[in-house]
Amino acid sequence: LMNLQPWDLWTGEGVPKGRTLEILAVLEQTLRKAPQHPGANHFYIHAIEASPWPEKGLPAAERLKNLVPGSGHLVHMPSHIFIRTGRYAVAADANERAIKADEAYFAKAPPPEFYSIYFLHNIHFLAYSAMMEGRYETALKAARKIEQKVPAKFLKDYVEIADGFMPTTLHVMIRFGKWQEILSEPEPEDWRLFSRAERHFARSVAFSALGKTEQARQEIQHMDQVTQSLTDEWMMGNNSAKEVLGIARKMAEGELLFRDGKPDKAFQLLRQAVALEENLSYDEPPGWMQPVRHALGALLMADGRYQEAETVYRADLRRHPKNAWSLLGLQQSLEKQQKLDEAIALSTQVKKAWAKADVSPVASCYCHPDAR
């Protein structure tokens, strides 16, 4: 039943599609009879993760966490639910253990070529989880591991899908404001079109943050040229690479215009980027690794639009529960509006969300002018 509508069980608004309710009923009946069944727990996580109630998958995630410790993919699978319920540290741990399980297997037998994408998925997931916790070193280490571990033949033979993993380092650097490091990153090979486009995006964001808006504008032009070369076969996970780069385009130009002293136009573009991000097909990690609202909220704060920023952060927390960046931004926006009781009430959540962080940002995005 699931194969008849793969990765297409729920609408973006959380309405079940096709035979989704029948799929859930079959799996729930199976789990009542055999709660330790690895396959049933695995499939239930996939069936429920994109729903309005991903927390219903927590019992399956907890059961599967240690059920088949030698199977990297099954060790990883609970993180799909952990991410959706704001348990980023537990998600990171699941993927660290999954990577170790895979590497233990690889030490004994060569992995099938197709499994490379599952192994890279675990590392990619670790990078994303760590990013949401504010753990720069862990996220960067995972991103570099993707570059080190991707088989050269796999990357070349399946570049239209495999190249989607490769710009993870750039996204980590953007997340943590490593502008000079971005500008020092080498240019990818000519045939890695998605990576080339993402590099131009990252360089544009970096130049904007450094106040070099003319260079930022040139990088956007270069990104446009590469994007035009992409065919429909190029994918970023479950999404078209062109759709993902559409978000990058508006985000880069929005941040550029803000630095150019045109905040109204900047916010218009960033809101358009949010709409594009929300229109992406469901995927975990998401097709866009740093929520656009983190940048939009930070720049609204920088422009003194505190009530608008509050609305943006609350919307992001509904989409990415308990994430450290929007909790920080929300608390700051409440403080600026003198909603001090509400701000203080968030203190425990904020402290918990940043408990493992190795950075102390001043805003929800390092694109904020005061970020260092």
How sure is the predictor about 185, in pLDDT bands with cuts at 50, 70 and 90?
A: very high
Mean pLDDT of 314-339: 99
Q: 157, 189, 215 — which closes off a domain?
A: 157
Same domain assignment for residues 46 and 83: no
Q: What spatial distance separates the first Cα and last Cα of the chain, rounded to whole Å?
A: 51
239 forms beta bridges with: 236
Helix (H) or strand (E) holding 236, with range, is strand 235-236
pLDDT for residue 52 is more than 90: yes
pLDDT for residue 197 is more than 90: yes
Same domain assignment for residues 27 and 43: yes
How sure is the predictor about 77, in pLDDT bands with cuts at 50, 70 and 90?
A: very high
**Domain extent at residue 83:** 70-157
Cα 142 to Cα 122: distance, rounded to the nearest angstrom: 9
- pLDDT score, position 112: 85
Is this model's pTM higher than 0.95 or not? yes
How sure is the predictor about 114, in pLDDT bands with cuts at 50, 70 and 90?
A: confident
pLDDT for residue 269 is more than 90: yes
Residue 217 within a domain: yes
Query: For residues 274 and 238, is the Cβ–Cβ distance under 8 A?
Result: no
- pLDDT score, position 110: 86
Domain count, the chain: 4
The residue type of 78 is: P
- pLDDT score, position 111: 83
Residue 173 within a domain: no
User: What single string gives the DSSP state of each residue in 12-41?
Assistant: TTS-B-TTHHHHHHHHHHHHHH-TT-HHHH
Alpha helices in 176-303, H assignment, sequence order: 179-184, 193-209, 213-227, 241-259, 263-278, 292-302
Cα 35 to Cα 303: distance, rounded to the nearest angstrom: 53
Same domain assignment for residues 54 and 103: no
Same domain assignment for residues 254 and 301: no
CATH number at residue 325: 1.25.40
Query: For residues 20 and 6, is the Cβ–Cβ distance under 8 A?
Result: no
Mean pLDDT of 361-371: 98
Residue 344 within a domain: yes
Cα 297 to Cα 305: distance, rounded to the nearest angstrom: 9
How sure is the predictor about 172, in pLDDT bands with cuts at 50, 70 and 90?
A: very high
Same domain assignment for residues 286 and 186: yes
Give the gyration radius of the chain's Cα atoms.
20
Q: 237, 262, 290 — which closes off a domain?
A: 290
pLDDT for residue 121 is more than 90: yes
Cα 347 to Cα 193: distance, rounded to the nearest angstrom: 44
How sure is the predictor about 113, in pLDDT bands with cuts at 50, 70 and 90?
A: confident
